[in-house]
């Protein structure tokens, strides 16, 4: 990077440049960086996980056929509108229809009230699916798409700590999501977060970073205007649930039986 010129066109000789700022003795001028939060976040996100990604389309992701799952969808729609506790966990065996319901809810929230904050569909086919370092930046990116007025504060968070993407999940969540939302003056309506396929996350380690992630999300986000929808196989749910119960987090549970055999679920 070359130094800027002064008004008279001469090069300043004692300039050093650090993280976008030009220091001139004890004077510095902010370098003009016109990049938006979306542009700053983009290299750090996973583009394949949102409900409307091209990868999901290629996987054949579908919404519920008309006339199916009507009762369960009505129940979840009431929940997305604010009824019941802020966390909903849909669980059932592989093939029971969880992802299809999650896809339906994500699409309805996005296309109807436009209150989908974030959707993340874990999939074994997704090459980056176990790269959780991209999870929070992906969340922040999608959130800014839904709430464009967050752009400035998210951009400042990245500029003030360009290493934010290498920080802990909790730090990233605080800096890229919680603080920008809390700094907003306008009151936001409830927004919906859809996280599907927690069981499809593959772990190389014995330790489960995914459980930490879920725990952070529940603990950090339930104080904000989010309603969080998780879908997974029951084992993952049972593994994780004991942690939250210690923290008095209320969760709406919806068990789902096999779609092929029961065709629909009546709750
Ligand atoms: N309500 C539904 N309408 C149409 N197809 C469905 C429905 N529920 C499930 N399916 C189909 O059944 C298969 C398994 O559903 P999926 O949602 O992937 O299950 P899970 O996520 O529980 O493993 C998919 O091919 C999906 O398209
Ligand atoms: Mg699934």
Return the HEC string of 213-226: HHHHHHHHHCCCCE
Q: Flag whether pLDDT at 205 surpasses 50.
A: no
Pocket test of ligand 1: the residue of 51, 65, 100, 232 to mutate, having most ligand atoms within 8 Å of its CB, is: 100
Cα of 33 vs centre of ligand 2, distance in Å, is 41
pLDDT computed for residue 100 by the predictor: 97
pLDDT computed for residue 237 by the predictor: 66
Cα of 90 vs centre of ligand 1, distance in Å, is 14
Cα of 259 vs centre of ligand 1, distance in Å, is 7
Write out pLDDT tens, residues 9-26: 333 444 444 554 444 444
Mean pLDDT of 196-225: 76
Three-state secondary structure string covering 155-205: HHHHHHCCCHHHCCHHHHHHHHHHHHHHCCCCCCCCEEEEEECHHHCCCCC
pLDDT computed for residue 156 by the predictor: 97
Q: Which of 89-93, 106-110, 111-115, 206-210 has the lowest mean pLDDT?
A: 206-210
Write out pLDDT tens, residues 140-167: 999 999 999 999 999 999 999 999 999 9
pTM summary value: 0.84
What is the spatial distance between Cα 117 and Cα 158, in angstroms, rounded to a whole number? 20
The percent of residues above 90 in pLDDT, for the chain, comes to 57
Write out pLDDT tens, residues 35-56: 999 999 999 999 999 999 999 9
CATH T-level assignment (fold) for domain 34-262: Rossmann fold (3.40.50)
Most confident of 69-78, 206-215, 237-246: 69-78
pLDDT computed for residue 107 by the predictor: 98
Of the two residues 8 and 144, the one the predictor is more confident about is: 144
List, in order, residues 6 or more apart from 229 with CB less than 8 Å away. 76, 79, 80, 88, 90, 102, 105, 192, 193, 194, 195
pLDDT computed for residue 15 by the predictor: 44
Taking all residues of the chain, what is their mean pLDDT, rounded to a whole number?
A: 82
Domain boundaries, the chain: 1-32, 34-262
Q: Flag whether pLDDT at 266 surpasses 70.
A: no
Binding site membership of 148 for ligand 1 (Cβ less than 6 Å):
no
Contact 196, 121 (CB under 8 A): yes
Write out pLDDT tens, residues 216-236: 888 888 789 999 999 998 876
């Amino acid at each position: 990077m070359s130094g800027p010129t002064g008004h008279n066109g001469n090069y300043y000789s004692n300039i050093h440049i650090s993280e976008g700022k030009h220091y001139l003795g004890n004077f510095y001028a902010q370098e003009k960086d016109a990049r938006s939060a979306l542009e700053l976040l983009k290299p750090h996100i996973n583009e394949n996980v949102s409900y409307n990604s091209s990868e999901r389309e290629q996987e054949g992701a579908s919404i519920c056929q008309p006339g199916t799952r009507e009762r369960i969808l009505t129940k979840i729609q009431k929940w997305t509108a604010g009824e019941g506790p802020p966390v909903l966990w849909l669980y059932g065996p592989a093939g029971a229809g969880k992802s299809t319901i999650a896809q339906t809810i994500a699409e309805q929230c996005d296309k109807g009230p436009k209150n989908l904050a974030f959707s993340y569909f874990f999939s074994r086919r997704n090459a980056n699916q176990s790269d959780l370092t991209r999870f929070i930046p992906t969340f922040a990116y999608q959130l800014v798409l839904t709430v464009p007025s967050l752009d400035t504060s998210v951009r400042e968070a990245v500029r003030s700590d360009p290493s934010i993407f290498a920080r802990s999940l909790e730090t990233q969540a605080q800096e890229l999501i919680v603080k920008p939302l809390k700094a907003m003056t306008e009151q936001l309506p409830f927004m919906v977060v859809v996280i599907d396929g927690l069981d499809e996350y593959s772990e190389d380690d014995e330790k489960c970073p995914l459980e930490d992630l879920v725990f952070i999300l529940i603990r950090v986000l339930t104080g904000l205007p989010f309603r969080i929808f998780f879908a997974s196989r029951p084992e993952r749910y049972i593994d994780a649930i004991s942690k939250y119960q210690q923290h008095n987090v209320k969760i709406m549970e919806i068990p789902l039986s096999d779609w092929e055999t029961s065709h629909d679920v009546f709750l």
